[in-house]
Amino acid sequence: MKKGMKVMLATIVTASLLALAGCGSSQTQGSASYTKENPLVIKFSHVTTAESPKGKAATKFAELLQEKTGGKVKVEVYPSSQLYGDKDELEALQAGNVQVIAPSATKLVGFNPSFQIVDMPFLFKNHDSVVKFWDGELGKTLMNSLESKNMQGLAMWENGFKVFTSNKPISKPEDFKGQKFRTQAGKVLEAQFKALGSGAATIPFGETYTALQQGTVDGQENTWNNIDTQKYEEVQKNLLVSNHGRIDYIVLTNKKWYDGLPADIKKAFDEAMAEATKYERQLAVELDKGSEEKLRKSGKFQIIELSEAEREGFVKLMESVYSEFEKTVGKDIIDGAKKL
C-alpha cells in the first residue's frame, strides 16, 4: 500500500512539474503577463539611418504596436547598424537575439536564390507590378520559403527602381561597352553588365562616391533618392532613366518567436506591420520622386529617357541573363512577374 502511494505521489508531482514547465514560457502564457510596467520587449535592428524610409517605418511600427497593445509591447529600434550590421543581423535573428530586421532582398539569396528576382534586368514594368508581385502568391511563397531557417517574411519595404549614371553617354546598349560600373554583389548583376559589354566592380555603398570621383569606375546603378542623397551628380554627367532593377527590403522576424506570441499581441503585431508597410511604401515613392524632380531641375545631369522601342532593345540584349538564371531564380516566378 505504501509503495503504491509513493508511485501515485511521484506521478502527481511529475505531472505538476510538467504543467508548470509548460506555463513557464512567457510566450505561451497569454498577454495577461505583460503590462506597461513589464512589457514584452521587441528589438528591431536595421542598417539604414533613422531618417530613411525604412528607419521612419520602423519607428512608426514601434509607435503603432505600443498604441494597439496599450503599452504592453515595447519595440526598441536600432538604426544605422547600432545593434547588428549587414553581415551578422541574419544570424542574430535566427538565434533570437533580435526579433525583427529588414535586410535588402539580395542579402537573402544564400537562403533562396529566387530572391534574385529583384536583380533580373528590365523585369518589372512599373511600380504597380512590383507591389502586385510581393503582395500576391509569388511574393508570399518567397516570404514563406525561409521558414525552415527559422525566419518568417512579413512584408516588402521599398527603396525603388534603379537607373544608370555614367561620365560617358549611355543612351543605347553599345554605349556601355568598355565601361566599368559599381554594383552590389550578385551573379545576376555581374551577368547584366557582361551582357552590356561592361565590367562590374563590387564596391561598398559608402565608398562609391570616391570610386566615381577617382575614376575607379565609370558609372553606377541606384535609385534616384540614393543618387541624390549621395550627391553623385557632383561626379557623374549622364543619367539613363532605365528603371531596370529594384532595391527593396524584406522585413523578417524569428519564426519560432513569432509563432509563440499570444494571439491578441500577434494580431496587433500584424496590424501594425501592415500599417507601417503602407506608410513606408508611400514615403519611399514620395522621396524617390522628390529626388528625381530635384535632380532634373538642377541641370547637372544629361538625362536620357528611353522610348518603349529603346527599352525593348535592352530587354532583348538581356535574354542571355534570363537563359543563365531561369532555373536558379525559377521560371514560374520570372514568368509570373512578367505577366503583372
Could you state, in order of their start, the residue ranges of all structural domains in the chain?
34-159+248-288, 163-246+291-339
In this prediction, what percent of the chain has a pLDDT beyond 70? 91
pLDDT at 21: 37
pLDDT bin (cut points 50, 70, 90) of residue 97 is very high
Q: Specify whether the CB–CB gap between 148 and 142 falls below 8 A.
A: no
pLDDT bin (cut points 50, 70, 90) of residue 22 is very low
Helix axes 331-339, 319-329, angle to 10 degrees: 120
State the average pLDDT over residues 62-73: 98
Give the CATH superfamily of 34-159+248-288. Bacterial extracellular solute-binding protein, family 7 (3.40.190.170)
pLDDT at 20 over 90: no
* Higher per-residue confidence, 236 vs 85: 236
Calculate the dihedral angle through the C-alpha atoms of 164, 85, 274, 115, rounding to the nearest 10 degrees.
50
Least confident of 7-11, 78-82, 121-125: 7-11
Reported as a single tens digit per residue, the pLDDT across 267-281 is 999 999 999 999 999
pLDDT at 10 over 60: no
DSSP string, 282-313: HHHHHHHHHHHHHHHHH--SEEEE--HHHHHH
pLDDT at 100 over 90: yes
Write b or e for each residue in 230-243: b if 16 or more Cβ atoms lie within 10 A of its Cβ, otherwise e: bebbebbebbbbbb
What is the rounded average pLDDT for all residues in the chain?
91
Reported as a single tens digit per residue, the pLDDT across 243-302 is 999 999 999 999 999 999 999 999 999 999 999 999 999 999 999 999 999 999 999 999
Reported as a single tens digit per residue, the pLDDT across 322-340 is 999 999 999 999 999 999 9
Reported as a single tens digit per residue, the pLDDT across 133-189 is 999 999 999 999 999 999 999 999 999 999 999 999 999 999 999 999 999 888 999
Beta strands 40-45; 246-254: pairing state: unpaired
State the average pLDDT over residues 14-20: 40
pLDDT at 43: 98
283: which 3 cell numbers? Answer: 514615403
Closest by Cα among 175, 170, 190 to 241 = 170
User: Is 163-246+291-339 in the same CATH topology as 34-159+248-288?
Assistant: yes
CATH for 163-246+291-339? 3.40.190.170
Give pTM, 2 decimals.
0.84
* Higher per-residue confidence, 86 vs 15: 86
pLDDT at 29: 52
Beta bridge partners of 220: 165, 182
pLDDT at 204: 83
Residue with cell string 537563359: 323
